[in-house]
Every structure is written in C-alpha cells, then in structure tokens.
Amino acid sequence: MAVHNVTLIRGDGTGPELVEATRRVLEAAVATSGSSFNWDVVEAGVDIMETAGTPLPDNVLESIRKNKVALKGPITTPIGTGFRSVNVALRKELDLFACIRPCKSYKGVRSRYENIDIVIVRENTEDLYAGVEYDQFSDEAKQIIGLSGGKIREDAAISIKPISTFGTRRIVKAAFDYAVENNRKKVTAVCKANIMKYTDGLFYKVAREVAEEYKDKGIEYDEWLVDAMCMQLVQKPENYDVLVMPNLYGDILSDLGAGLVGGLGVAPGANIGEDTALFEATHGSAPKYKGQNKVNPTALILSGLLMLKYLKETDAAAKLEKAVADVIAEGKDVTYDMKPDRNDPTAVGTSQMADAIIAKINAA
C-alpha cells in the first residue's frame, strides 16, 4: 500500500480530457492493491502562454523535480514564437535520456500484423537532435566547410551529430536493464556505422562493451544497420525484441513500430532519467477535437500503465492491461477510430471508454 506523489500535466487541445480519463483509470487500478495517488496538477502548453508568457512555466519543472514522476497530456508546439518544443525542453531540463516506446499488438486494433511485441529504446539527448546547427553562410558554417576538405558545398547549412561514450553507455545500459527487468530475450543495436564510422561506429563499440557486462544475464545481443532494420521490421518483426539506437533513428523507427501495431492511437511512451520519469502518449494534441469527448485515450492510458510498472505497482499494471485489452477486443465501448467503420454511430467517447476500462478493472 502506497501513496504516489505524481505531477499531472494536463496539456492543451484534447490533453485535459485525455488526462482526466487516464487519471480515473489509474486511480481505479491502484485502488485494487490499496494504493492511491496524490496528484500535483499543473498547466503547460499554448493555453497557458497568454498568462504565463511561456508554454513551460517554472512551476512545472519544480513539481517534476520534487515528485520525480510525471504524467503528461499532449502539448502543442507553438508556431513562430521562438519556443521550439515543450516536450524537448522537458527532456533536456530533466535529463530524461531514455525514451521507451513499446509497440505491442492488441486484438481488435486494425493492423496488417499480429502478435507484435517489440520495444524501442531511443537516446533522447544527443545525435542530430542536440540542436547544434549553423545557418548557411554563417561564420561557423564557413569554418566547418573549410575544415571539410571540399566535402561540403559552400552554400550548405550545417547540423552537428554528437555521439558520446557517456550518452551511448547509459542508453544501452538502460536497454539491457529493461530487458532484464521485463524478461526480454534480446537487445539489438541499430545504427549506420558503415557510413558514419566515427559517430555510429562509437555507438556500436560502446554497445558491444555494455553487452559483455550482461552476458551472465542471458540477454542475446546483435546489431543491424538502420536501413536493413526498417526492412526487417516490415518483413520479420517477430524476430526482434528490444531495439536500442541513437535519437534520430529512434524517432523514425518508433513511428514505424507504432504503424505495425495500429498507429499512434495505441502507442505509449516513457522518458526516463537517472531518478526522474515522465510518461506521455506519442500522438499530438489534436486541437480540432478539443472538448468533443471524441479522441481515443488508449495511448495515454497505456503510458499510465508504464508509469504503474515504474512505480512497482505490478499487480495493478497487470489488471489495467487486461482491462484495456478486453475492452479493445470486445470492440463495443471504443472510440470511433477503433471501429471497423469510423462513422459507426455506436462509437463511444473518451470518457465512456475510460468508464468501460474501469468497469473491467473493478470486475476482475
């Protein structure tokens, strides 16, 4: 029995209604084990910008640093404001270096594939997403062009791709730790080291060193080039388990993985640091559906499932996943996007799908 202090970021667009549905489901799940939540509700996103002057007020970061765990609704990235992304800012400010993206099939979700169960572990802080860029004709770009020995055209903009031993070691270690804790069998490192021999080559080098440290845990290790891995996931996804990779490849392959299991509507996400974790759906805020009680809450609820596992609420997590799977498989109390015909008048709303999941939990 425990009381979990968790920061609850409502988000914007459809975020608040998704968060409310998820909050109720999670409370029902942990109640079965005698636990509860103490939510610290905070606001972030475009809706708060007018009064706060920023989509990410200081109190949001302060709350997460205090509670160490956060659940976040979708947030719109403001356009033309100079603020790049609340999501990226949270990861950088809190050093949430590991993005965990499970891609799992659920019966009743439309997909060309069945029985998919892979996990993509993406490094969150380095690579081309580090934000080190120089505009064309800038002094910095000219200097780098000068060092390239004629390999870069004079009118090029430049983006730097940093890959470090430190960053690689901790993300690969996170992948192996996840495999051990979740009874997975294999970790696959994904890069393009045949072309980027120093950066991606370093990633492979460090990954091999980490793999040696886990040999006694019975975790198999292998490597694939990123282009070949894309083909492998389309042709033989059942051959793969936990995939670990740098930032850019992880961004791309995690969406590919979501496509294998039915799309972003059923794709949860976790961003993990040394002592802090933030859980969020991977889809956007869908502002055109704001306030309509229409959007699918599954991705955020499954992100909450990952949070329960992180909080060691193992029994509650198992009951929640079974309830979600049963509701989806029955196909009755689901949102319009999960019906065979998206115009099906029997589709239910966000809140009603949450009600159906809660009913399954309570009946277990």
Q: Which residue has the tokens 């159906």?
A: 356
Sorting pLDDT into bands at 50, 70 and 90, what band is 77?
Answer: confident
145 within a domain of the structure (yes/no): yes
Query: In the predicted model, what is the mean pLDDT of the chain?
Result: 95
Tell me whether residue 319 is one of the annotated catalytic residues.
no
Per annotation, catalytic residue among 66, 185, 227, 275: 227
Residues 117 and 224 in one domain: yes
| 261, 296, 314 - which closes a domain | 261
The closest of 293, 303, 280 to 348, measured between CA atoms, is 293
- For residue 78, give the DSSP letter: P
Residues 154 and 171 in one domain: no
94 within a domain of the structure (yes/no): yes
CATH of the domain at 326: 3.40.718.10
Tell me whether residue 139 is one of the annotated catalytic residues.
no
> Number of folded domains in the chain?
3
For 129-167, how does the pLDDT look when each residue is reduced to its tens digit (9 = 90+)? 988 999 999 999 999 999 999 999 999 999 999 999 999
Residues 151 and 227 in one domain: no
| 261, 278, 307 - which closes a domain | 261
Dist. CA 326–CA 317, nearest whole Å: 14
Q: Is the pLDDT at 35 greater than 90, yes or no?
A: yes
Tell me whether residue 227 is one of the annotated catalytic residues.
yes
- Dihedrals φ, ψ of 12, to 5°? -135, -175
Residues 117 and 230 in one domain: yes
92 within a domain of the structure (yes/no): yes
Per annotation, catalytic residue among 12, 251, 326, 333: 251
Residues 253 and 336 in one domain: no
Residues 95 and 177 in one domain: no
Residues 181 and 141 in one domain: no
Q: Is the pLDDT at 82 greater than 80, yes or no?
A: no
Tell me whether residue 129 is one of the annotated catalytic residues.
yes
106 within a domain of the structure (yes/no): no
169 within a domain of the structure (yes/no): yes
pLDDT attached to residue 87 = 86
Residues 74 and 131 in one domain: no
pLDDT attached to residue 81 = 56
SS3 122: strand
| 242, 261, 280 - which closes a domain | 261
The closest of 224, 351, 246, 242 to 294, measured between CA atoms, is 351
Q: Which domain holds residue 157?
A: 127-162
Per annotation, catalytic residue among 72, 127, 129, 200: 129
Residues 96 and 115 in one domain: no
Q: Is the pLDDT at 80 greater than 70, yes or no?
A: no
Per annotation, catalytic residue among 47, 104, 134, 192: 192
pLDDT attached to residue 53 = 85
Residues 226 and 346 in one domain: no
For 171-184, how does the pLDDT look when each residue is reduced to its tens digit (9 = 90+)? 999 999 999 999 99
